[in-house]
Amino acid sequence: MGRHAGISVSRAQRRQLEQFTTKTKYKAEYRAAQGIILRAEGKCVDEIARQFGVTMKQVFVWTRKFRAEGVDGLRVRKQTGRPRTKAQLAKPRIEELIDEDPQAFGFLKGRWVLRDISRQLKKEGIEMHWTSVGRMLEELKIGLTSPKLRAPGSIKKNYAKRAEVRRYKRIAPALFKKKSSLASKTRNGLNSSQKSSDAGRGEDKRDTLKRLVTPNA
pLDDT level of residue 105 (50, 70, 90 thresholds): confident
Q: What is the pLDDT of residue 27?
A: 86
pLDDT level of residue 177 (50, 70, 90 thresholds): low
Cα atoms found within 13 Å of the Cα of residue 73, Cβ hemisphere only = 13
Does the predicted model carry a pTM greater than 0.75?
Answer: no
What percent of the chain shows pLDDT beyond 70? 60
Q: What is the pLDDT of residue 180?
A: 61
pLDDT beyond 80 at 66: yes
Q: What is the pLDDT of residue 144?
A: 72
162 vs 186, residue with greater confidence: 162
Contact predicate 127/87, CB 8 Å: no
* Most confident among 10-14, 75-79, 83-87, 183-187 (mean pLDDT): 10-14
45 vs 205, residue with greater confidence: 45
62 vs 216, residue with greater confidence: 62
How far is residue 16's CA from residue 10's CA, in Å, rounded to a whole number? Answer: 10
Alpha helices in the chain (DSSP H): 11-23, 27-40, 45-52, 56-69, 86-98, 114-123, 130-139, 154-213
pLDDT beyond 70 at 124: yes
- The dihedral formed by the CA atoms of 31, 32, 35 and 40, expressed in degrees to the nearest 10: -150
pLDDT beyond 80 at 181: no
Q: What is the pLDDT of residue 98?
A: 84
